[in-house]
Each structure stands twice: as C-alpha cells, then as structure tokens.
Chains A and B, each alone.
Chain A
C-alpha cells in the first residue's frame, strides 16, 4: 500500500495472482526440463512423451492466463462481479469487501479460483502419468491449497481443497479399479502398489487430512492478515479524512482570523474619527477657548477627557494589532539595524523615564541587521520599553540589550519593576489581559501592548518569552530568526523573505 488515496482493495490480490502465474512458468519449465533430463539419463525408453506434452500444455495455458490477467487487471473492475458470478462470490475474501473495490476483489479472486481449478486438473493428469498413487507430485496439491488460502475466501479455500482431493481420489481410485492404466515411475515402489487397497486408502487419508489441515491453518492466518490489512486501510482512510477535515478547519480558522483582524481594523478606524473630534472638543472646552468654566464643569470635562483618551488608546492599539496581523500578507520588508532601532526607541522614552526617575539604558552587543517591517519592529521595542517604564518605580531601571543568542538576534528588555505573578505569566500576551498588580499600579494601559509585541515577533518568524519575579522585575526576550545572509544591508536580498508563516501547515 503506497498511497492511501490510491489504495484499491483488489491490488494485493491482483499482484499475487500475477505472481502465481510467474510461479507457474517456473513449474512448467521444471516439468519440461525434468522430462528432458530423464530422457538423457534413462535413454529413449523413458516414458516421457506424455509428460513433455503436459509440461508444454501447462506453459501454453499459463501464457493464456498471463495475457488474460494482464488485460483483465489493466482497468478497474466495473459491474457486478461479486454477485453475477456464483464462483466469484464463493472465492472472494469477505474481509476485503466494503473497501470500495468489491468488484475488483471478486474479479481477482475469481481469476485465482479458475487458475487453481485448472492447476488441480493439470496436477491430476500429471499425477496419472507419473505413477498415480506412487507419484511425488501429490505434494503440489497441498501447495495449491496454501495458494488458495492466500487468494481466496475461507470457504473458497475449503472448496478448492475438496476439489483437489476429489481429483486426486479420481485418479487413485480409477487406477485402483483398473478403469485407467497405471504408469509406474521407477521409484522403488512395488509395481503393483497401486492395486493395494492399503496404499490407496492411506494415501487418500493422508492427502485428504493434509489438504484439510493446510486449508484450515493457512486460511485462518490469511483471514487474520486480511483483517489487519482491512483495519489498516480503514484507519488510514480515517486519518486521511481527518487530515482533510483538519486542514479545512485550519483554513477556515485562518480565514476567520483574517476577517477578525480586518473587522477590528475597520471598527477601530470608524471609531477613531468621532473620538478624535470628541477629544479636540473637550480640549477646546478645558482650555477655556469656549469661555470660562466652573470648577465642577472643569472636573467633569477632565474626567470625560481622560476616558476619551483611554478609548483612543485602545483604538490606537487595536489598529496597531490589526496592522501587525495583516503585515505578513503585505510583507513590508527592509533591512533593519536592530542596534540603531533600540537606540532610537530609548531616545523616545528618555524623557518619560526621566520624569519617573527610572534609569533607561541600552547595551548593544552586536550589529545585527534583520529583514523586516521597520515600523512594526520599532513598535515592538517601543511597547516593551513603554511597559518597562510604566511598571517600574522611581529609582528603578529599564535596560534594553541587543545581542546574539547562537545565530539568532535577540532583543531583551529588562526592568526592576513590579514584576508579574506566576499565574499571570501565561496570559499576559492575550488581548486585553492585564495582571491584577498592573491594573493596581498603573490605571492606564490598554492590555493590547504585549499582544502587539507577540504578533509582530511571530509575524517575523520569531517569538517572545517572559521571565519575572514579582517585586523584583521582569525580563522580556524577543528572538528573531537567524539570517546570516542579512548580516549587512549590502548582502541581503539573495535570500527569500524573512517572514514565514510561524504556524507550520504540516499537520
């Protein structure tokens, strides 16, 4: 069974039937050679004429079977082989039914059934010309029963065993009763052995028992093996089916993810205009441009302004997140010098950090250049630094380092802030998730910043990890994929784009 999709339940049977034909070439050649050798060794008196004729006959009918088989199996079986031919129904192994190729199975089994019948006939005639009951060829009856068990149903095998026994008995008894002549072989048997009832009876019992036992044992094994094959095929089909379904589900999921992020972007976009107008209006009011305000009015407008600001921040971050998600599709690629990028971000936050009394510093250990979306990568570092500064108190520090971990460029943002509780760690990259201590410590924060970081890192084929000790600090590590070809802006471009689907499709 090579390919599950291509599997036909009849293919094994057909192959073995053709292999059976190959063996028969050997048998025919063997019969012809033996007779020729007998003639050479024993001189012209040896009674080899009929046997030579039989051997040639075997080769001829095998040639016919060969061509019939080739033609028969060239095309998939059609029609109603299983029920139209009574012998086909008898011969076909039931265990291979129901696998979508019943006609093929019945056809191959019927073909094998016909061959075995023909062979038994041939063997009976050969037996007669080679000494009847004293002939060693009776062994081949057993051999055919073994073949029958491999190719046919259990019932078909018993039927063939009975048929073989019948032919054998006909020859032995016909000779015994003198209905046909006896052609002795010089084997050391007494010349009148075929006339002895004990010899005839013994050989009938022995061969009968052997055929029955062979049929019983071999078909038991064959049925078991076929059941396993059947189970394997059904399992493989189930797996193939599941795989198709999984792939379909995965495609649907990706499509809905895309639709979700598109929807998110549209909503955020729609919200932003009105929100901006509200913010501007409130500012105009607060700054007294529309006339003086009473203290309660000022306070209320201040509250409204703060809440509008929160909304605006969420909208802003949602847009960033949607953009990060859709970025992989657009693939804005450019060489980005990570060291310079880190230095720029540090500059952007220096003032905010200074106001809070937080020391902001950078350690650039390598001059890595990666291929990526410069705006997104900058956003990534900025979000981490902003987070660090936000959750670190006066006297603390935020350190951004850029180095190589093995081949991979790494950006690390480490703070001495409030830290993240162990139970929060697995969830902090979720959208809108904010740890309890973070909410308590800083009111502002959309809960989207780290989701954006994760999204951008993954879209660049990298990832982000976090380690934290509550009360001591937190360290975020962003690892980007190693691209030796991108070490310098001059050598990039000979390689493919750096962004790959981080979710492997091989299921």
Chain B
C-alpha cells in the first residue's frame, strides 16, 4: 500500500499528532513526529522522510512558514524536493500565499509558499491519506 514510506508530522498539538500517527500507521507508513520548528528541522535531516505533514500555525503564527523556508533553503536537493503538505484553518489571515506544487527553492517572504499541497483544518484523515499518496506518486514520477 505505501511500502513503509516515512512521514514526518510537525505539529505542536501532540494529541493531533498521536491521532494522525494512528491513521498513517494504519496504512503502513512509518511515522516520525516533531512538535516545534527546530526539532522538526532536525528530524527532517535525521529521518529524511518521504513526505512532511506540517501544521502551518504552530505557536508563533508564522512558525510553519519559517519551517518551510528554512528547509527549502538547504543546499541538498532532497530538501528542495521533499513533498510538504500543510494544514491550517481557513480563517487565518496572512499575507503569505499558498501555492501548491511549486517546489522552487528561490523564494522570499510574501512569495508563494513552496509546498505541494494544503488541506483545511480540522484534518480529515482520509483526505490527508489521499493527499500523501498523491504527493508520493507525483514525487516518484518526477
């Protein structure tokens, strides 16, 4: 089903992480979790996940965005191409724009966010699994 692909969940809500871990593991994914930006970056470097699931609104409103930028800024090709799926509530107003399926590493604040997909909160586990599958498929094809 998923060949044991590694998924990293970065979210400050430990309960949600636990829930998503169950959902992802039920599909045979290996799951790693991090609860803030710095450990998230470390975990990404350490585990080299096949896909990262990220809550864009971690404690400090833009932390998720910084995570994406800092990750994508790393030299290694892996960091520029690893699929990222963000979820967030639709009411959050920011001047940062989502732009799925753009993984270009050259970006500035205020530019489109180089992530593969985004889904609304509350997270629908089925939808999340679909999107992860799709992101992995697209990546495999690339």
Binding site for B on A (CB under 8 A): 272-273, 275-277, 279-281, 283-284, 287-290, 312, 319-320, 323
Contact = CB atoms under 8 A, between A and B. Distances in A.
Given A287-B125, A289-B22, A289-B26, A281 B89 contact: no
B23 interface: yes
Interface string B24-67: 00110000000000000000000000000000000000000000
B23 A276 contact: no
Contacts of B26: 284, 288-290
Contact of A273 (B13, B20, B91): B13
A277 B19 contact: yes
A259 B22 CA distance: 41
Interface string B98-142: 000000000000000000000001111110000000000000000
A387 B126 CA distance: 29
Interface in B50-95: 89, 91
Given A289-B26, A290-B22, A283 B16 contact: no
Interface majority SS on A: helix, strand, loop or mixed?
helix
B15 interface: yes
B89 A272 contact: yes
A281 B126 contact: no
26 contacts: A272-B89, A272-B121, A275-B122, A276-B16, A276-B121, A276-B123, A277-B19, A280-B19, A280-B20, A280-B124, A281-B15, A283-B124, A283-B125, A283-B126, A284-B20, A284-B23, A284-B26, A287-B125, A287-B126, A288-B26, A289-B22, A289-B26, A290-B26, A319-B91, A320-B91, A323-B91
A154 to B, nearest CB: 73
A284 B15 contact: no
Interface in B1-29: 13, 15-16, 19-20, 22-23, 26-27
B74 to A, nearest CB: 30
Can you list the 4 inter-chain pairs with the closest CB atoms, starting with the nearest?
A276-B122, A289-B26, A279-B122, A281-B19
Contacts of B16: 276-277, 280
A272 B13 CA distance: 12
Given A276-B89, A277-B122, A290-B26, 17 more contacts: A275-B122, A276-B123, A277-B15, A277-B16, A280-B16, A280-B124, A280-B125, A281-B15, A284-B19, A284-B22, A284-B26, A284-B125, A288-B26, A289-B22, A290-B22, A319-B91, A320-B91
A284 B128 CA distance: 11
A190 B22 CA distance: 134
B68 to A, nearest CB: 21
Contacts of B123: 276, 280
B125 to A, nearest CB: 5
Interface centre among B16, B121, B122, B124, by most chain A C-beta atoms within 10 angstroms, is: B122
B75 to A, nearest CB: 35
A290 B22 CA distance: 6
Interface centre among A276, A284, A287, A319, by most chain B C-beta atoms within 10 angstroms, is: A284
Contacts of B15: 277, 281
Nearest to B22: A290
Contacts of B13: 273, 277
A53 B16 CA distance: 110
A413 to B, nearest CB: 23
Contacts of A276: 16, 89, 121-123
A385 B100 CA distance: 30
Contacts of B89: 272, 276
Nearest to A282: B19
B131 to A, nearest CB: 14
A288 B129 CA distance: 14
A404 to B, nearest CB: 32
B88 to A, nearest CB: 10
A312 B122 CA distance: 9
Contact of A289 (B23, B91, B122): B23
Nearest to B89: A272
Contacts of B125: 280, 283-284, 287, 289
Nearest to B120: A276
B10 to A, nearest CB: 15
Nearest to A316: B91
Nearest to B15: A277
Nearest to A320: B91
A279 B126 CA distance: 13
A291 to B, nearest CB: 8
B63 to A, nearest CB: 15
Contacts of B20: 280, 284
Contacts of B23: 284, 289
Nearest to B126: A287
A290 B19 CA distance: 9
A52 B15 CA distance: 111
A228 B89 CA distance: 67
Contacts of A289: 22-23, 26-27, 125
Contacts of A284: 19-20, 22-23, 26, 125
Contacts of A283: 124-126
Contacts of B27: 289
Nearest to B16: A277
Contacts of B126: 283, 287
Contacts of A288: 26
